[in-house]
Chains A and B, each alone.
Chain A
Amino acid sequence: SQQGEEDPQALSIQEGENATMNCSYKTSINNLQWYRQNSGRGLVHLILIRSNEREKHSGRLRVTLDTSKKSSSLLITASRAADTASYFCATDARGSGGGADGLTFGKGTHLIIQP
């Protein structure tokens, strides 16, 4: 079963604009992670935010986490054509009483950056 729900399912923006994707989940978590997947390829880990953190930055990425609302957002600033990919949030419930011992992924947001 998939715990995370990304919103929107698809997003198309112009190069240089910022892209924001949201993720909601259902159970208690230890941490939440974001991954990118280019078409037909494996997933690449982007960033991890722990349950006691509210915001984290990595380069052009900014992630927020609101555990009271069970939601997270991923912001990609100054988007580039190479950012075109699917983006997935994944929850790690290990040790939090939230369930599965492996990551649980959402269905993803397909991001298209128009050059």
Chain B
Amino acid sequence: DTGVSQDPRHKITKRGQNVTFRCDPISEHNRLYWYRQTLGQGPEFLTYFQNEAQLEKSRLLSDRFSAERPKGSFSTLEIQRTEQGDSAMYLCASSPWTQGHGYTFGSGTRLTVV
């Protein structure tokens, strides 16, 4: 297992288009997290899954955002009708479900909405 993988690394899209990102976590990790990071800021929590169950969603996650983890393995994050304000780095991380472990992050997907 080589860590957390995210695809694509970069995405440029026109305003109004839909985009989907994929995250493949470390296979032994039950928990999967999505964060968003803008320039000069720390990552902001969006949502997380324990296995296939989505347990928490941030207020940042508007109705245009949806995340899935259908079989408790990989996850997708979809943004519908993208806006320029959606431009950011989208980070995925995974961890074991027990407390006391750090997160393993992927390299992120950088979204630019033009």
Contact = CB atoms under 8 A, between A and B. Distances in A.
List of 7 A-B pairs having minimum Cβ-Cβ separation, nearest first: A45-B102, A105-B42, A42-B105, A43-B105, A42-B107, A102-B45, A105-B43
Nearest to A43: B105
- Chain A interface main SS type: loop
B42 A41 contact: no
Given A50-B100, A105-B43, A42 B56 contact: no
B105 A44 contact: yes
B25 interface: no
B33 A41 contact: no
Interface residues on B, range: 20 to 34
A101 interface: yes
Contact of B99 (A31, A35, A45, A90): A31
A103 B100 contact: no
Interface residues of A, number: 29
A2 B48 contact: no
Interface string B78-114: 0000000000010101000001111111111010000
Contact of A95 (B6, B91, B99): B99
Given A31-B100, A48-B100, A50-B100, A103 B45 contact: yes
B2 interface: no
A104 B108 contact: no
A84 interface: no
